[in-house]
Structure 1
Amino acid sequence: MRVADLLKKKGSSVVTLPSTATVAQLLETLDDHKIGAVVVVDDDRVVGIVSERDVVHHLRGGGDHFSSLTSLMTSDVQTVTAEDDLVQLATTMTERRLRHLPVVEDGALRGIVSIGDVVKARLDALEAERDMLEDYLRR
């Protein structure tokens, strides 16, 4: 299964904010959408990603709610393409301890994949395989 297959099922919608947004705006966005990370986009270009974990580190370190996202976002963003394999992606996400990866094609944001998406896709595939084997054994 590829990232493109996953995006067909879950959709390609991505919640984004500009780098000029504040931590307070980020918190509101995370809560409103019930998500764990936001892709930071300026001029239709991915410039960062910021997660709940980043907010915790920022606030614990004395940062305030009025800081811009540039003060806490990860600017060296690991991305994937629609053609990437989900099994390899799961390994990469686990080894690098990444929970969210933006999907970028030709410099444009096309979606986002979470570790939960990858696990769900894998479980769905295993369940389908089990069902096929049970069907085969019943014949």
Structure 2
Amino acid sequence: MRISDILRRKGTAVATVRPDDTVGALLAVLAEHNIGAVVVSPDGTAIAGIASERDVVRHLHRAGPGLLDRPVAEIMTERVRTCGPDAQVDGLRRTMTEHRVRHLPVVDEDRLIGIVSIGDVVKSAIDALESEREHLVDYIQRAP
């Protein structure tokens, strides 16, 4: 299965914030969309970084409540791992596990076209196993 198959099912909408948005605004976007991370982008297509709930918690612990008025650029992860729409889900699962990342933006020709979470990857694996199980049951039931 390819990443484009996941995006076809879940959609390509990506929540983004600008690097100069406040951490408080970031939290509002996370809550509004019930998500764990957003892509930081100046224009909705280029990737400047990624910011997650974990980033907020780590920095909030150090900086205190004043962090909420600071720009997202101060807490975001700048080195963002990405994948293309033609990448295989199995390879992505390995990348996410090895590098301990839960969200990977999907990029095509240097443009943000979607995002895949570890939950999306796990769901695709469960769906594939369920499909395989159904085929095996059907095969066994048809055997003389």
TM-score for the superposition, normalised by structure 2 = 0.94
Give the superposition deviation at 1:29: 0.8
- Match of residue 56 from structure 1: 57
**Given the alignment, which residue of 57, 65, 69 partners 2:68?**
65
C-alpha RMSD over aligned residues:
0.8
**SS at structure 1 position matched to 2:47:** strand
- Match of residue 92 from structure 2: 89
Establish whether residue 8 from structure 1 lines up as the match of residue 8 from structure 2: yes
How far apart, CA to CA, are the structure 2 residues paired with 1:3 and 1:132? 23
TM-score for the superposition, normalised by structure 1 = 0.98
Give 1:1-139 correspondences, 5 Å limit: 1-43=1-43, 44-63=45-64, 64-139=67-142
Give the superposition deviation at 1:58: 0.9
In the alignment, structure 1 segments of 5+ residues that lack a partner are none
The one-letter amino acid of 1:91's match is: R
How far apart, CA to CA, are the structure 1 residues paired with 2:26 and 2:68? 9
How far apart, CA to CA, are the structure 2 residues paired with 1:91 and 1:109? 22
Give the superposition deviation at 1:42: 1.1
**SS at structure 1 position matched to 2:51:** strand
In the alignment, structure 2 segments of 5+ residues that lack a partner are none
**SS at structure 2 position matched to 1:42:** coil
The ranges of structure 1 where at least 4 consecutive aligned residues each deviate by more than 6 angstroms after the TM superposition are none
Aligned pairs, number: 139
How far apart, CA to CA, are the structure 2 residues paired with 1:62 and 1:68? 13
Deviation string 1:48-70 (CA, Å, 9 cap, x unpaired) is 00000000011001151111011
Deviation string 1:112-135 (CA, Å, 9 cap, x unpaired) is 000000000000000000000000
Higher strand fraction (1 or 2): 1
